[in-house]
Structure 1
Amino acid sequence: MEDTILISQSVAILVDGNNIERSLESEHRDQNMMINFDVLIPRLLGGRGLNRLIYFREGKNISSKLAERLHSKYHGSVRPCHKSADIPLSIKATQLASKVDAIIILSGDSDYVELVRHLKSEGVRVEICAVPSTTAGVLLEEADYFHPIVKEDCFSLNQSGTKKKSRK
């Protein structure tokens, strides 16, 4: 029988929605491809506690279904951004640094390299979760850990708006 080590960590998950949506579209050639948070979040947490889940997205056209689901299942929130999510996400990550043990950033954007360096200097474990083919190498080098987004983490909305499994 193996000994199980209980790791008690508080984790914040910060999502750059536009970056992830573009990456999924590029990877799967499907504009309706979306993250299945019910699959991805438990995998990312690995038994650790979720402190915050915030989905940042540029523009006003944010799915109310997504916002409702993230709130009801994970007490998460969706934050519309005036332009890119980079600055609001970075500010929130910096504010959370003293309140959590780890921050998982869902984005492969190299714009987050300086944020990752700063958070690590504050003693925060920084993990990146993104589509491997669209993730900047320099971001991977700086992060403490990388979680690839794989097809099992996704679904595609068909024309009627219902889920269908990814078949890449």
Structure 2
Amino acid sequence: MTEIHPSQRVAMLADAQNLYHTAQSLYSRNIDYSALLEKGVAGRDLTRAIAYVVRADSPDEESFFEALVDIGFEPKIKEIKTFGDGSKKADWDVGMSLDAVTLANHVDTVVLCTGDGDFSRLCSHLRHEGVRVEVMAFRESTAEELIEATDTFIDLSERQETFLL
């Protein structure tokens, strides 16, 4: 495991859908992405920050995407898929995982902003490769296997005044 040091190279990968829905369901508030990036990087060298978003054709989403860019995130946008039975799906699990594995050779730490337990295997893989893995999410909705698979877990619920708008 890589120890924390000031010149450490960090990549932050934020699952915007997971964060949004959790913040809304728990607190009826939005995520402060500026604080998320600042606290996640924590004085280290930011290599890349990616926010994985889904285009849902809501009125404010374009301004949200622009705000992410202004903060320092690269938004990766996926169109929502509607199936014949009316169900909808759009998730970034595979895309986030591929990006994390690709970035692993270029960073010391990957900060995952998600509570999705599907990423626990990714965390184990990254740690096996010598990459430090930190997760920032709301404990109430974070899979226990994800918390156990990381080097550090930061509970956003414990610092609502910092991470929520």
Instruction: Place the TM-score, normalised by the shorter chain, in its bin.
Output: 0.7 to 0.9
Q: Which structure carries more helix by proportion?
A: 2
- In the alignment, structure 1 residue 80 sits paired with structure 2 residue 77: yes
- Alpha-carbon deviation of 1:58? 2.9
- Moved beyond 4 Å, runs of 4+: none
Q: What's the C-alpha RMSD, in Å, of the aligned pairs? A: 1.7
Spell out the pairing of 1:71-110 with structure 2 (5 A cutoff).
71-74=69-72, 76-82=73-79, 83-110=90-117
Q: In structure 2, what is the equivalent of residue 114 of structure 1?
A: 121
| Amino acid across the alignment from 2:70 | S
Matched, 1:52 2:48: yes
Give the C-alpha shift of residue 6 in structure 1.
5.6
Range moving further from structure 2, 58-67 or 135-144: 58-67
**Residues 12, 113 of structure 2: 8 Å contact kept:** yes
Alpha carbons 1:81, 1:88 under 8 Å: kept: no
Aligned ranges 1:62-77 → 2 under 5 Å: 63-74=61-72, 76-77=73-74
3-state SS in 2 of match to 1:34: coil
Percent of matched pairs sharing the same residue: 31
Mark the runs of 5 or more structure 2 residues left unpaired by the alignment.
80-89
CA shift at 1:73, angstroms?
3.1
Question: Cα distance, 1:104 vs. partner?
Answer: 0.4
What is the CA–CA distance in structure 1 between the aligned matches of 2:115 and 2:20, rounded to whole Å?
11
Per-residue deviation at 1:53?
A: 0.9
Letter in 2 for 1:96: L
| TM value normalised by structure 1 | 0.81
